[in-house]
Amino acid sequence: MRRMIAALAAVLLLLPLGQAFASGAGSAQDPLISRSYVRRWEELLLEDRSVQADQAAQALMTDGARSLEMLTGRCGASGIRPETLSAGGSILLREGDSINLLSGGGSVTVRSGSLIDVTDGAALPAGSLPAGHRCIAAKDAYAVFTAAQDSRLSLTGTAVVSQYRDSAPTQWYGSAVDYAAVRALMNGTGEGTFSPESTLTRAMFVTILGRMAGVNAADWPGTSFADVPTNTWFSAYVQWGAKNGIVNGIGGGQFAPNSPVTREQMAVLITRYADAAGYDLPRGVSVRAYFQDAARISDWAGESVERMRVTGLLNGDDLGNFNPANGATRAEAATVFMRLDATLRLLH
């Protein structure tokens, strides 16, 4: 009897605690989970979602800032670069570039990423580029605009422009041809062509060097070579090169302006040009140790070829040959001059 009374008393003592526990339960179906536990779990869940949202927002802000930095960093002082594109010409657009069609027309091919029409605030699908709308290449974008007719555009960034039907911006030399055209170093060969695979002559090469140096043709009258008349498009540049020790001719008072410029001749001319301009190109140890055909490199060109190799201005082929006597194509020359400009800016 005493045991029954004691057990009943224990139950009565625990009843308020049990009622309190049940009153704090998360649900009638599961009274063993307290409301405080559910609320804490809910708070943690919301806190986790908040962190994820903050991280996502930060990622978007970072990407936006990165694109803006690329966009503003690539622009010139005005931030806008006008271009006149002939029919058939094209422009390669990548992250941070923007394009605005002012007149004319053409179509856009979006290969990856997207173009954002900031005028409408929507992604631009492949097709016609709307006139008067500014479009920006978003993250990881790779798009090509091709003009169907003569067009005027404004660009920002480093959009690669090709004015020539035979020099697409997707080719390995596309940006180099754009560089040479924009800086008026090299002209086309007529009827909207650049002839990238054509051989460059000695007269052409020295003329490009002179244009890069900002030579005023009127300042260099006369001629130093019997085969360079004074009334040609290249005579002033050859005369400038001769007077500055950049060109010496081939002997016998001859310059051979129409002969192809060889790779080892390019190396020597570039080295002399850099030396005359006060740039000290890095020097290597010995060119003989790096090219399989080193024995074919002329003694008078060895040091210059090595300096080209060290600076990366002229490299060998996949077999490790320099091919010193090979002629240079116009595409190769454009690439060399683009690299030379970048190298000299670093040394300035």
Q: Per residue in 111-138, pLDDT tens?
A: 888 889 988 888 888 788 889 999 999 8
Domain over 81-162 is classified CATH 1.20.1250.20: no
Cα 115 to Cα 123: distance, rounded to the nearest angstrom: 6
Cβ atoms of residues 178 and 158 within 8 Å: no
Residue 26 has pLDDT above 80, yes or no: no
At residue 19 the predicted structure's pLDDT band, cuts being 50, 70 and 90, is: very low
pLDDT digits (tens, 9 = 90+) for 241-274: 999 999 999 999 999 999 999 999 999 999 999 9
Q: What is the pLDDT of residue 302?
A: 92
- Out of 15-24, 148-157, 191-200, 314-323, which region has the weakest mean confidence (pLDDT)? 15-24
Between strands 81-85 and 98-103, the pairing is: unpaired
Q: What is the pLDDT of residue 217?
A: 92
Global model pTM greater than 0.95:
no
Backbone angles phi, psi at 299, to 5 degrees: -60, -40
Residue 102 has pLDDT above 90, yes or no: yes
Sheet hosting strand 127-128, strand order edge to edge = 127-128, 106-112, 142-147, 90-94, 160-162
Q: What is the pLDDT of residue 73?
A: 38
Q: By C-alpha distance, which of 313, 304, 268, 306 is closest to 289?
A: 306
Cβ atoms of residues 93 and 117 within 8 Å: no
Sheet hosting strand 98-103, strand order edge to edge = 81-85, 151-156, 98-103, 134-137, 115-117, 122-124
Cα 173 to Cα 194: distance, rounded to the nearest angstrom: 11
Residue 153: both structure tokens together: 């555009």
pLDDT digits (tens, 9 = 90+) for 150-194: 899 998 887 777 778 788 777 888 878 878 877 788 888 887 788
Residue 305 has pLDDT above 60, yes or no: yes
Residue written as token pair 């030399």: 173
**What ranges do the domains of the chain cover?**
24-71, 81-162, 202-347
